Amino acid sequence: MIADCHMHTEFSADSETKITDQVEQAIALNIPRICFTDHMDMDFPGGDFQLNTEAYVKRVLELQEEYKDKISIGLGVEVGLQEHLQERLQAYVDRYPFDFVIGSMHLIYGEDPYFGKIFDRVGDAEAYREYFQATHKALKKAPQIQTLGHLDYVVRYGREKDKEYSYKKFQDEIDEVLKLLVEKGIALEVNTAGFRMLSFPNPHPDVIRRYRELGGEMITIGSDAHTPQVMAYGYDKLPALLEACGFRYYTVFYQKKPRFIKIS
Ligand SMILES: [Zn+2]
Ligand SMILES: [Zn+2]
Residue 163 C-alpha to ligand 2 middle, in angstroms? 24
pLDDT at 32 > cutoff 80: yes
Residue 62 C-alpha to ligand 1 middle, in angstroms? 25
pLDDT at residue 1, rounded to an integer: 67
> Rg of the chain over CA atoms, in angstroms?
17
How far, CA to CA in Å, does 189 sit from each of 68, 163, 179?
26, 23, 15
**Nearest CA-CA partner of 6 in 223, 232, 193:** 223
pLDDT at residue 15, rounded to an integer: 97
pLDDT at residue 106, rounded to an integer: 97
Residue 153 C-alpha to ligand 1 middle, in angstroms? 8
Lowest mean pLDDT among 45-54, 71-80, 174-183, 196-205: 45-54
pLDDT at residue 47, rounded to an integer: 81
In order of their start, the domains of the chain are: 3-262 (3.20.20.140)
As a whole number of angstroms, the distance between CA 130 and CA 133 comes to: 5
Q: Spell out the residues 6+ positions from residue 238 whose beta carbon is closer than 8 angstroms to its own.
A: 190, 192, 201, 221, 263
Query: Residues 115-153: pLDDT tens digits?
Result: 999 999 999 999 999 999 999 999 999 999 999 999 999
pLDDT at 233 > cutoff 80: yes
Contact 8, 224 (CB under 8 A): yes
**Cβ < 5 A residues, ion ligand 2:** 78, 224
pLDDT at residue 46, rounded to an integer: 84
Closest ligand to Cα 202: 1
As a whole number of angstroms, the distance between CA 19 and CA 38 comes to: 10
Query: Residues 91-116: pLDDT tens digits?
Result: 999 999 999 999 999 999 999 999 99
Q: What is the mean pLDDT of residues 74-78?
A: 98
